[in-house]
Amino acid sequence: MRSQSADRPHPRDGVLKINAYVPGSDKANPNVKLYKLSSNETPIGPSPAAIDAYEQVAKNLAIYPDGSSSALRQAIAKAHGLNAQNILCSNGSDELLGLLANIYLGPGDEGIFTEHGFLVYKIQILAAGATPVVVPETDLCASVDAILDAVTERTKIVFLANPNNPTGTYVSDSEVRRLQENLPPNVLLVIDAAYAEYVRRNDYAAGIELVSANQNVVMTRTFSKIHGLAALRIGWMYAPEHVVDAVNRVRGPFNVNAAAIAAGAAAISDRAHVDKAIEHNETWLPKLTQAFENIGLKVTPSVGNFLLVHFPDDQSEKSAKAANEFLIDRGFVLRLVGAYGLPNALRMSVGTQEANQGVIVALTQFMKND
């Protein structure tokens, strides 16, 4: 009699331990206007120049894109003062996280991330057949000491979201440097800086200088947030040439489509549009924080384009789940973050003025209801 394992193909160890990633919802009461505030998308939208570039590509859809994304890499290099040879573009930064995990991890290896870090880290570590190691945070912020305490001979990669999603907290440049200096040189430090453009703190750095000065640091970025191109899925990394070489050997030959290349190059060149998005965020982040605190809610201080809002009692009518249902009925879709170990909180993207004011009014009513 054949064993059960021989009856059909089976995924390798670790794959079936993965809880599939669930994106932020876009469903609400169909009878009211929808305000999607669950995925940290920019309320400003994409640059008009990016839209124009995207539309021009429609004339050449039968032609494969440039496999090396040269125009996009050159535009990124110019915008940030980087060497294009150290830049690699991807189908969203999620693709890069997966490629790096699969290249540098295998069975018997360990990958480290913090307890409220991006869910994709654990998914990709498990998919690579490695062991995920979750370390505690301090006040919802990554702790360098906790990360270093978790490093063993089996550690091959450390994922650090900076700023972190969903908490909105960040690790200072000096602390990130201390982390790198104390990691073994064979451990890859991946700094996920998806929200870097929004940060307005003097002690923050996205990781560019750290990559330039070391052989075991990678910085990943995205066009899905401040550049407003989430639908096109554009990510990029700045890394030592040996890392770029390894990823180039594994990635798909045309992993960035032609529309993404054109629109991304135009978007990153439109500094005025980026500044507009920063200004909107700088206006509304403190306004929303103050408004929510005024009605008795706790808000984790955020440097991103979103807020983590904590509710008073997870066992009562004032829980995050109850608030979420109340908001959805009025068209406001926020993000439940129980999967991140935060069962009594909601994450809210900074939206348009209309959306932000609407959530303030709705939550004020929710907190007053007996």
Rounded to whole angstroms, the Cα distance separating 60 from 353 reads: 38
Shared-domain flag, residues 287 and 250: no
| pTM (predicted TM-score) | 0.93
> Which residue among 246, 270, 294 closes a domain?
270
Condensed to tens digits (0 to 9), the pLDDT of residues 69-83 reads 999 999 999 999 999
Shared-domain flag, residues 30 and 114: no
CA angle 136–340–348, rounded 5-degree value? 120
Condensed to tens digits (0 to 9), the pLDDT of residues 227-242 reads 999 999 999 999 999 9
Query: Phi/psi of residue 253, each to 5°?
Result: -70, -25
Shared-domain flag, residues 154 and 116: yes
Helices 353-368 and 271-294 pack at an angle, to 10 degrees, of 10
pLDDT score of 2: 43
- C-alpha R_g of the chain: 21
Do residues 207 and 236 touch, judged by C-beta distance below 8 A? Answer: no
Shared-domain flag, residues 78 and 209: yes
Whether the CA torsion 69, 70, 76, 81 is positive or negative: it is positive
Shared-domain flag, residues 220 and 357: no
Shared-domain flag, residues 65 and 167: yes
Rounded to whole angstroms, the Cα distance separating 309 from 35 reads: 17
Q: Is 237 exposed, middle or buried (0-12, 13-18, 19+ CB in 10 A)?
A: buried
Shared-domain flag, residues 148 and 108: yes
Shared-domain flag, residues 59 and 31: no
pLDDT score of 292: 98
Computed over every residue of the chain, the mean pLDDT equals: 95
User: For residue 251, what is the domain's CATH number?
Assistant: 3.40.640.10
Cβ atoms < 10 Å from Cβ of 188? 24
Using DSSP's 3-state secondary structure scheme, residue 146 falls into helix
Average pLDDT, integer, range 134-146: 98
- At residue 5 the predicted structure's pLDDT band, cuts being 50, 70 and 90, is low
Q: What is the residue range of 214's domain?
A: 48-270
Domain count, the chain: 2
Average pLDDT, integer, range 195-222: 98
Say if residue 266's pLDDT is above 60: yes
pLDDT score of 95: 97
First and final C-alpha spacing in the chain: 64
Across 10-24, 123-137, 181-195, 323-337, least confident range: 10-24
pLDDT score of 370: 63
Rounded to whole angstroms, the Cα distance separating 170 from 147 reads: 15
User: For residue 15, what is the domain's CATH number?
Assistant: 3.90.1150.10
Shared-domain flag, residues 299 and 183: no
pLDDT score of 12: 79
Shared-domain flag, residues 99 and 240: yes
